[in-house]
């Protein structure tokens, strides 16, 4: 029954799939299943649409909540009573980007909380049941497991947002005293992340890198920088390299020289305004370039030597296995910090690379410590000796 339901939804979303290699359009759909108890199944679909005519990839979440014994979808009205909308709105207003109204229709049900996803807000809103206790319907409370949970979590903080997580990280950063030592004759590789920042993936990736005292290179999109200033500053503070991945993920080969320049310059400017540093390297979108681009772009262009296709695979273990079964001294590894599955893969990849004796360095360090100079208009994808 449950599987049928998932299959049905999977099929519906797959039906929407567009994959046209000529135009580099992508539609990726990932799903996570939550089982707060035996009666409820909650499914979260994370969808990324990157159609060739979009300025940048669209990322959004759709959810489905199903009551197995009643064989029907669960709506907010099945969970809440009274003036719950006002309560949810006040929680939403407190937590993030102010909106004139919030659409609470996308949410998942966990055993201790509801998590709401909004279209134009990247951070989900977490609502522990304890904060909306008086608005919960008794029929919902009667559900096995929820009731016991409510009693236990009474003294939780009022609301938990990812801002709190960022604040904590910033405090940690202040007492960061570890320095990295690079030994030029020992093996090294560069992890690179494209298309971010995206809080739900970039922050856990930064946490993993910090935990292991290693660095990476983030080829960011200029148009994602203003919204993620804290993340950009953190990258710089923690020693990562920031690269330019254009302003709005345009296919550069299709643009005029002026527009190519605009895509690059606008990104340089935006990053400089936020972080006080300017990228020294760039990665062309879709890895595609031609002579026109080589002439116009006044930076070295960085491609890669290992591509686990994390945007397609969406499975942490498979991504990690792809990388770990191929990695050699001098490799540049391509990943995307817009998927939670990639963030999980990084948790596997980083300690294992360290375990095998690799030093994890930025792209610029990889070339510098191998005695190679990156020059304008050239393409680089690895350093094999
Ligand atoms: Zn990209």
For 351-383, write each residue's pLDDT tens digit: 999 999 999 999 999 999 999 999 998 999 999
The string of pLDDT tens digits covering residues 47-71 is: 877 766 676 777 788 888 888 878 8
Over its C-alpha atoms, the chain yields an Rg (Å, rounded) of 23
> Strands 107-109 and 58-67, how do they pair?
unpaired
Three-state DSSP class for 196?
coil
Spacing, Cα 91 to ligand 1 middle (Å): 35
Spacing, Cα 63 to ligand 1 middle (Å): 26
Spacing, Cα 24 to ligand 1 middle (Å): 11
Spacing, Cα 358 to ligand 1 middle (Å): 26
User: Where is 231: in which H helix or E strand?
Assistant: helix 229-237
Spacing, Cα 67 to ligand 1 middle (Å): 39
Phi-psi region of 215 (alpha: psi -120 to 50; beta: other; left: phi over 0): beta
High-pLDDT (> 70) share of the chain, %: 80
Q: Which residues contact 337 (CB under 8 A, 6 or more apart)?
A: 193, 194, 195, 196, 197, 198, 201, 202, 205, 218, 343
Within a 10 A sphere around the Cβ of 49, how many other Cβ atoms?
Answer: 16
Q: Which residues contact 4 (CB under 8 A, 6 or more apart)?
A: none
Within a 10 A sphere around the Cβ of 52, how many other Cβ atoms?
Answer: 15
Q: Which residues contact 192 (CB under 8 A, 6 or more apart)?
A: 216, 217, 218, 219, 243, 283, 302, 304, 332, 333, 334, 335, 363
Task: Report the interhelical angle of 340-355 vs 316-324 (nearest 10°).
Answer: 40
Check pLDDT > 90 for residue 101.
Answer: no
Q: Which long-range contacts (CB under 8 A, 24 or more apart) does 155-161 make?
A: 155/130, 156/128, 156/130, 156/131, 158/131, 159/91, 159/94, 159/95, 159/126, 159/127, 159/128, 159/131, 160/126, 160/128, 161/95, 161/96, 161/123, 161/125, 161/126
For the full predicted model, state whether its pTM sits above 0.75. no
Check pLDDT > 70 for residue 290.
Answer: yes
pLDDT at res. 5: 53
Q: Which residues pair with 128 in a beta bridge?
A: 113
Spacing, Cα 250 to ligand 1 middle (Å): 9
Catalytic residues: 194, 336
pLDDT at res. 123: 77
């Amino acid at each position: 029954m449950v599987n049928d339901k998932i299959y049905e939804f999977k099929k519906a979303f797959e039906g929407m799939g567009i994959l046209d290699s000529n135009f580099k359009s992508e539609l990726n759909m990932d799903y996570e299943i939550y089982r707060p108890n035996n009666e409820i199944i909650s499914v979260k679909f994370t969808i990324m649409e990157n159609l060739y005519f979009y300025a940048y990839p669209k990322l959004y979440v759709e959810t489905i909540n199903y009551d197995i014994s009643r064989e029907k979808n669960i709506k907010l009205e099945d969970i809440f009573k009274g003036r719950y909308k006002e309560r949810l709105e006040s929680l939403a207003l407190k937590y993030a980007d102010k909106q004139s109204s919030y659409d609470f229709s996308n949410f998942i049900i966990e055993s201790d909380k509801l998590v709401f996803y909004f279209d134009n807000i990247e951070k989900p809103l977490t609502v522990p049941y304890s904060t909306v206790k008086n608005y919960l319907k008794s029929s919902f409370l009667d559900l096995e497991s929820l009731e016991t949970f409510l009693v236990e979590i009474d003294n939780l903080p009022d609301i938990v947002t990812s801002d709190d997580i960022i604040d904590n990280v910033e405090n940690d950063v202040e007492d960061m005293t570890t320095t990295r030592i690079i030994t030029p004759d020992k093996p090294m590789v560069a992890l690179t992340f494209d298309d971010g920042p995206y809080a739900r993936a970039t922050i856990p990736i930064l946490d993993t890198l910090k935990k292991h005292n290693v660095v990476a290179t983030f080829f960011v999109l200029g148009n994602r920088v203003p919204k993620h200033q804290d993340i950009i500053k953190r990258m710089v503070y923690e020693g990562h390299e920031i690269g330019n991945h254009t302003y709005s993920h345009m296919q550069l080969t299709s643009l005029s020289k002026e527009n190519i320049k605009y895509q690059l310059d606008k990104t340089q400017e935006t990053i400089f305004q936020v972080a006080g540093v300017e990228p020294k390297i760039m990665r062309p979108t879709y890895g595609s370039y031609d002579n026109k681009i080589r002439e116009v772009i006044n930076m070295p262009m960085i491609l890669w030597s290992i591509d686990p296709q994390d945007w397609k695979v969406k499975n942490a273990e498979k991504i990690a296995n792809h990388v770990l079964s191929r990695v050699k001294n001098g490799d540049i590894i391509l990943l995307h910090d817009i998927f939670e599955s990639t963030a999980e893969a990084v948790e596997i990849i980083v300690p294992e690379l360290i375990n095998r004796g690799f030093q994890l360095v930025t792209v610029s360090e990889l070339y510098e410590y191998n005695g190679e100079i990156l020059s304008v208009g050239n393409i680089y994808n690895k350093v094999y000796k």
